[in-house]
Structure 1
Amino acid sequence: MPKPLQIDSLWTERISDQLNGLEYGSVLITVHDGRIVQIDRTERKRFDPSSESRRGAEQPVRSVT
């Protein structure tokens, strides 16, 4: 029978810290033998090309021949 997972306040805080400020991405919690042993955070940055051009972002460099 599997061991019940127990999460104390320390792990709750660690998980919350990883979620804080995460706009796009994932948080992976690894459990071994009923205990949390690792937290992985993968963060994605998304850029909207149409909004960047409206803000005056740099245009691609074109070669002149």
Structure 2
Amino acid sequence: MEKKEELKIRHIISSLEDLQYGSVIITVHDGEITQVDTTEKKRFPLGKSRPVKAR
């Protein structure tokens, strides 16, 4: 495997390992990886519990 291709694959793996919630989008043109987009989502628990409404 070419050195450039190895770097691309390492970058993708690193992006996946660092991600807890989100997505990694790999863009390919003519069989070559041209772009990697990482979107990370942060989730925060609600501070208060909501009261249950009586029916």
TM-score by length of 2: 0.69
1:12 to 9, 26, 43: 9
Residue 51 of structure 2: aligned partner: none
| Matching of residues 1-65 of structure 1 within 5 Å | 8-50=5-47
Following TM superposition, by how much is the alpha carbon of 1:21 offset from its aligned partner in structure 2, in angstroms?
1.9
Q: What letter corresponds to residue 43 of structure 1 in structure 2?
A: E
Instruction: Report the structure, 1 or 2, having the larger strand content.
Output: 2
Runs (5+) with no aligned partner, structure 2: 49-55
Q: Once superposed, what is the RMSD of the aligned Cα atoms?
A: 1.6
Identity in percent: 50
Q: In structure 2, how many angstroms separate the alpha carbons of the residues matched to 1:12 and 1:40? A: 13
Larger gyration radius, structure 1 or structure 2? 1
Runs of 4+ aligned residues of structure 1 deviating over 2 Å after TM superposition are none
**Contiguous gaps of at least 5 residues in structure 1:** 1-7, 52-65
Give the Cα separation in 2 of the matches to 1:42 and 1:21: 11
Moved more, 17-26 or 29-38: 17-26
